[in-house]
Amino acid sequence: MRAVATWIDKVHDRDKVEQCIYDLAFKPDGSQLIVAAGNRVLVYDTSDGTLIQPLKGHKDTVYCVAYAKDGKRFASGSADKSIIIWTSKLEGILKYTHNDSIQCVAYNPVTHQLASCSSGDFGLWSPEQKSVSKHKVSSKITCCGWTNDGQYLALGMMNGVVSIRNKNGEEKVKIERPGGSSSPVWSIAWNPSKDEHNDILAVADWGQKLSFYQLSGKQIGKDRTLTYDPCCVSYFSKGEYIVMCGSDKQASLYTKDGVRLGTIGEQNSWVWTCRVKPDSNYVVLGCQDGTIAFFQLIFSTVHGLYKDRYAYRDSMADVIVQHLITEQKVRIKCRELVKKIAIYRNRLAIQLPEKILIYELYSDDSSDMHYRIKEKICRKFECNLLVVCSQHIILCQEKRLQCLSFTSVKEKEWLMESLIRYIKVIGGPPGREGLLVGLKNGAILKIFVDNPFAITLLKQSTSVRCLDMSTSRNKLAVVDEHNTCLVYDIHTKELLFQEPNANSVAWNTQCEDMLCFSGSGYLNIKASNFPVHQQKLQGFVVGYNGSKIFCLHVYSMSAVEVPQSAPMYQYLERKMFKEAYQIACLGVTDNDWRDLATEALEGLDFDTAKKAFIRVRDLRYLELINSIEERKKRGESDNEVFLADVYANQGKFHEAAKLYKRTGLDARALSMYTDLRMFDYAKEFVGVADPKNSRLLMSKQADWAKNSKEPRAAAEMYLTAGEHLKAIDIIGEHGWADMLIDLARKLDKAEREPLAKCAFYFKKLKHHGYASETYTKMGDLQALVQLHVEARHWDEAFSLAEKHTQFKDDVYVPYAQWLAENDRFEEAQKAFHKAGRQSEAVKVLEQLTHNAVVESRFNDAAYYYWMLSMQCLDIARESDDQKDEMLKKFSRFQHLAELYHVYHSIQRYTDEPFSSHMPETLFNISRFLLHNLTKDVPLGISKVNTLYALAKQSRALGAFKLARHAYEKLQELHVPSRFQESMELGSLTVRSKPFHDSEDLVPMCYRCSTNNPLLNSQGSVCINCKQPFIYSASSYEVLPLVQFYLEEGISDEEAVSLIDLEVPQLDKKAARWQEMSSGESQSLKLDDDMEDPEQDPFTSKVSFEQGGSDFVPVKVSHGALRSMSRRDVLIKRWPRPLKWEYFRSLMPDVSITMCPSCFQMFHSEDYELLVLQSCCCPYCRRPIDEPN
């Protein structure tokens, strides 16, 4: 460290009397210096020491000055007991006073509050407060300072106490120095470093001690003894160094731990104050005799390098060892000024003022960074250069070299003829290392540690600045005082080459022929004797390892990764493939490796090419090289053929073809062109002469067309070549329907295979129209039907099936399946039926019916059962084997259909809030149901619901006896909870009603005029004549119909023709009214000679007295049929094998309608209303517009 005076000024008053400089303060930007000189405040320009302005305002000596951290104002305090606050424009803006002379002032770095201290108190003033808050103290305050965060103020006092106060002036910590009032605290300073964990206070007292404390008052380390009375202690801006001055008439530099490092500017009187310019290495001193001295501190670099380890001095007293490859760092604290550093292999030597420390690594691991002390040489040495070896240290003092063992024994000494300018260890066995020494007179020597004689390698005319020897010890690089880099062959002493603008040089440790040197802001890399490759780089080159260059710039060492591309290409240009490969191994880009591989391959250096292609993982070329090596082993030796193969692989086809032709391998060139689809070049190559080769070309071209990326052209080629199938495949795969239909239309219908393929592709492309056209052209009806079915074009399929009945199954079965898949079960069922698949049709219907019942869609269930019964009838008609079984099923399904049909109304009444039915209808329906539920109850039908409905309706209509009966029956059954309350209430309240039924509700048999009970144990038949009742299918009232049967021998056709005959007109006279009276009643009787049985045989049959238990049906003869009016007869014309059923209306005025498809009877008004509501029969759903 050197201190260089930048400027010095001496302050006098007007009478030439020297003015003592008590305090100094820098403006925070460092541009101005505020000086307390006599009773004036002087402002200097720091750059050149010119006095900007003297400020007058104090009437007595100015003791202290301080500048605010924001640079807006500064303060001065004087013996006149006043404080003046000045602006940065050097104008006084405020003045306030204390009761004693002002000793020190300090600005808070955060809040800019000003602390001013006098002999008896201290005050705190801030710009926003008008008043100054003052606090008394017990002793004179000599110095003060705020912590970095502005929270606490430390006061140093005459009685040896340091008092730490908060912002309000209250004492928080009190530090008492051991000397008490005999060692007054004269200066304190807080460390400004942001890296420290604690606030550190430096305290200097006149007991000649320097101490450090934490904010808590705890001392850090021991007191540092000084040899003088300290007047001022001051930190550098980052807190790394301390400057202290006092009675020894000089300022000294210390580490932040208080280790003295050196002197800054000796003076002729006490130095009262010293300050460091913010963020710089400049120090200013103020002296008793009025001298202001401004110094620049120059810190020299102390460092050492060996291969990838770099050791350098940090903060003057520490050594940092850096591993340049792994970037690891280790700090060694020496706690003394480090003067010299040397590093070699696992050794590190550090020279301190009074001793040399030798360190060694803990282990042999190349990345180990742990050093321990091996030896201490406790002697003071004066030397210019220090070098360490495995067992020795070498000291260099001007011309003299001394070799000392680690025990400080001088073993060898060499005296040179000139000053030593450069020294370097170049390795060797332990204890016998070699040194390279460069002298001022240009001599370069080699010295071995165990040899007393120096060996002169060569002598040049200019002084040596830097030296390096290549790895194999064959070449020597020298940088001389004219910045020229010279390279010599050590054995022949011959100068190989020289390059200008060099300040340092280094050989590559991994490649003998490469070196680099730096200078003028550039890095130069030189390989062999090729031209230099340059790139920008600041600093000095100190090492070159592989592709890493170690560069020292100012204080920092960095490893720069340099791609070695330039020298590699220089070798490639001279076809020096082996050397180029060595360079590439140091580090080049992937593209460089590829270029090396390619060049080596073209230069037929297969070994290098193979290694390079392995690096870039190019399997294609590696296979080529392997195949060439195999062929070489088999005895092939024509390099031109190999080169042709290389060119062909690289895409240089024409050069390859020329080489093939030259070596007589025309076929190989031709196959290369055809493989590459270069048919035009191939034709040129073949020429017109050879027809056999031309044909071969044509066939190859066609095959190429198939695989090429131009399929349309390929298809056209195949078509012209007449290869229709291949063309169709290409066209079909690419979906060109227009091209395909043109082709299909051109083909003859005999060419079935191409046509079939066309149709196949049309189907695949969903062009059903074209496919249909193609199949029609081929006449393949089966395929056509299949096509329509697959495409779901049912209309076309049906029309085909109608024309060609053999395809009926092929159409209707898939159609039915499709309908079923799309939830159109009814249509599906009809389609199965149409296709003659009765069993499938029945299966679908049974499933539908079951689903409808399960889902409580009882009207649908009724409809499906009706359809099932009709299908059973169809099967019975067509198949004699199944006839009996099917007829049984028919009657069962008909019965179930009717039950579900009526139960639908009951279910809606019990489950839904509103009912659309009249009470009478519900009453009739529930009675009808109960009459039919005597044996077993079908799935889904609830007897509870039926009885519940009956009970409610009976009660509403006045059939109280029946209601009671229903409630009693319900109590025997399991009733759902929702009906429970209502049922119990009903069965209680019905007991208050009379125990009989309303006369109006009692049904009457129209055959024998007997009144029947409301609930009949025998079912829906008359209790007297056993005649079954015929009900209206809507209101379930008993209709005035009686079923009659034909006598033996009368056919249905004959019966109908007899009924259709007009009833013969009776003689007017014969038909006459008779008046009869008996008692109170009077009646009119149309006398139609009832005595004559031939008059209306039917009536006589009907009124036949019945008393037995068997039912006697009404059988009619020809005469009876003839006497009937067509209007009064209803016929159920069942299809075979069932017989027709005949009914005669006994009350012709009651209009009755029968549905022509399901033969259910209705009151005409009801039927019309229901048909209007749903546009179809309510029972069988026959649309009204459908013909009978």
And the tokens for 468? 């390096």
Residue 662, phi then psi, degrees to nearest 5: -65, -35
CA–CA dist 1057, 1047 (Å, integer): 15
And the tokens for 501? 């603008």
| Helix 943-957 with 960-972: angle, nearest 10 deg | 160
User: Range with the lowest mean pLDDT among 169-183, 266-280, 683-697?
Assistant: 683-697
pLDDT of residue 267: 92
SS3 (DSSP) at 835 = coil
- Averaged pLDDT, 465-480: 90
Confidence of residue 1067 (pLDDT cuts 50, 70, 90): very low
Among all chains, which residue has been given the structure tokens 């942001």? 194
Confidence of residue 1080 (pLDDT cuts 50, 70, 90): very low
Do residues 986 and 952 touch, judged by C-beta distance below 8 A? yes
Label the pairing between strands 1041-1046 and 356-361: unpaired
And the tokens for 869? 């019964």
Do residues 975 and 982 touch, judged by C-beta distance below 8 A? no
Q: 771's torsion region: left (phi>0), alpha (psi -120 to 50) or beta?
A: alpha
SS3 for 1005-1025, per residue?
Answer: CCCCCCECCCCCCCCCECCCC
- Averaged pLDDT, 204-218: 93
Laid out side by side, the sheet with 219-225 consists of 185-190, 200-205, 209-214, 219-225
User: Range with the lowest mean pLDDT among 175-189, 467-481, 745-759, 818-832?
Assistant: 818-832
CA dihedral 1123, 1128, 1131, 1132 (to 10 degrees): -150
The distance from CA 918 to its chain's CA centroid, rounded to whole angstroms, is 69
Cβ-based neighbour number of residue 861 at 10 Å: 29
Label the pairing between strands 62-67 and 51-56: unpaired
CA–CA dist 433, 390 (Å, integer): 8
Do residues 125 and 103 touch, judged by C-beta distance below 8 A? no
Whether the per-residue pLDDT at 607 is higher than 70: the answer is: yes
Whether the per-residue pLDDT at 521 is higher than 90: the answer is: no
Do residues 723 and 702 touch, judged by C-beta distance below 8 A? yes
Do residues 950 and 962 touch, judged by C-beta distance below 8 A? yes
Higher pLDDT, 1125 or 1072: 1125
CA–CA dist 51, 1055 (Å, integer): 152
Higher pLDDT, 669 or 789: 669
Higher pLDDT, 1068 or 56: 56
Do residues 1132 and 1140 touch, judged by C-beta distance below 8 A? yes
Highest mean pLDDT: which of 157-171, 590-604, 834-848, 1146-1160?
Answer: 157-171
Highest mean pLDDT: which of 462-466, 524-528, 571-575?
Answer: 462-466
- pLDDT over 90 for what percent of the chain? 30
CA–CA dist 842, 859 (Å, integer): 19
pLDDT of residue 1117: 86
Higher pLDDT, 20 or 942: 20
Whether the per-residue pLDDT at 725 is higher than 80: the answer is: no
Higher pLDDT, 772 or 479: 479
Question: Dihedral sign, CA of 602, 607, 609, 613?
Answer: positive
Highest mean pLDDT: which of 396-405, 670-679, 736-745, 1172-1181?
Answer: 396-405
Half-sphere exposure of 46 (CA within 13 A, CB side): 25
Whether the per-residue pLDDT at 832 is higher than 80: the answer is: no
Confidence of residue 957 (pLDDT cuts 50, 70, 90): confident
> Can you spell out the DSSP letters for 1032-1057?
-TTT-PBPSEEEEEEPTT--HHHHHH
Do residues 152 and 170 touch, judged by C-beta distance below 8 A? no
pLDDT of residue 1071: 41
Confidence of residue 231 (pLDDT cuts 50, 70, 90): very high
Give every CB contact of residue 109 below 8 A, 6+ residues apart in sequence. 69, 146, 148, 150
- Averaged pLDDT, 267-280: 94
Whether the per-residue pLDDT at 888 is higher than 70: the answer is: yes
CA–CA dist 73, 95 (Å, integer): 13
CA–CA dist 435, 422 (Å, integer): 10
pLDDT of residue 860: 82
And the tokens for 629? 């090596």
CA-based nearest residue to 787, from 803, 811, 757: 811
pLDDT of residue 53: 93
- pLDDT over 70 for what percent of the chain? 81
Give residue-wise pLDDT tens across range 636-656: 877 787 788 887 788 787 787
Among all chains, which residue has been given the structure tokens 């300050």? 275
Confidence of residue 1100 (pLDDT cuts 50, 70, 90): low
- Averaged pLDDT, 584-595: 86
And the tokens for 534? 């340059």
| Helix 606-616 with 590-602: angle, nearest 10 deg | 150
Whether the per-residue pLDDT at 756 is higher than 70: the answer is: no
pLDDT of residue 1091: 43
Highest mean pLDDT: which of 60-69, 705-714, 859-868?
Answer: 60-69
pLDDT of residue 1064: 57
Whether the per-residue pLDDT at 140 is higher than 80: the answer is: yes
pLDDT of residue 833: 61
Confidence of residue 187 (pLDDT cuts 50, 70, 90): very high
Task: Please give the single-letter amino acid code of residue 593.
Answer: W
Whether the per-residue pLDDT at 686 is higher than 80: the answer is: no
CA-based nearest residue to 1022, from 1108, 1144, 936: 1108
Highest mean pLDDT: which of 569-573, 737-741, 1141-1145?
Answer: 1141-1145
pLDDT of residue 999: 77
The distance from CA 950 to its chain's CA centroid, rounded to whole angstroms, is 70
pLDDT of residue 123: 93
Residue 1079: burial class (beta carbons within 10 Å; 0-12, 13-18, 19+): exposed
Do residues 609 and 601 touch, judged by C-beta distance below 8 A? yes
Give residue-wise pLDDT tens across range 857-866: 888 888 888 8
And the tokens for 911? 């489950």
pLDDT of residue 1077: 46
Do residues 284 and 30 touch, judged by C-beta distance below 8 A? no
pLDDT of residue 865: 84
CA-based nearest residue to 297, from 321, 261, 322, 331: 261
Q: Whole-angstrom distance between the N-terminal and C-terminal Cα of the chain?
A: 129
- Averaged pLDDT, 980-984: 81
**Looking at 315-369, which runs of residues are DSSP E strands?**
318-323, 329-333, 340-344, 347-351, 356-361
**Could you tell me the CA-to-CA distances from 457 to 248, 421, 461, 488, 1169 in Å, in that order?**
52, 16, 14, 10, 134
Q: Quote the mean pLDDT of the chain.
A: 82
User: Range with the lowest mean pLDDT among 24-33, 265-274, 411-420, 506-515?
Assistant: 506-515
Burial 827-841 (b: 16+ CB within 10 A, else e): ebbbbbbbbebbebb
Whether the per-residue pLDDT at 1142 is higher than 60: the answer is: yes
Label the pairing between strands 410-415 and 420-427: unpaired
Burial 1006-1024 (b: 16+ CB within 10 A, else e): bbbeeebebbbeeebbbeb
Higher pLDDT, 50 or 546: 50
Higher pLDDT, 466 or 833: 466
CA-based nearest residue to 36, from 73, 7, 64: 64
Whether the per-residue pLDDT at 786 is higher than 90: the answer is: no
CA–CA dist 485, 523 (Å, integer): 13
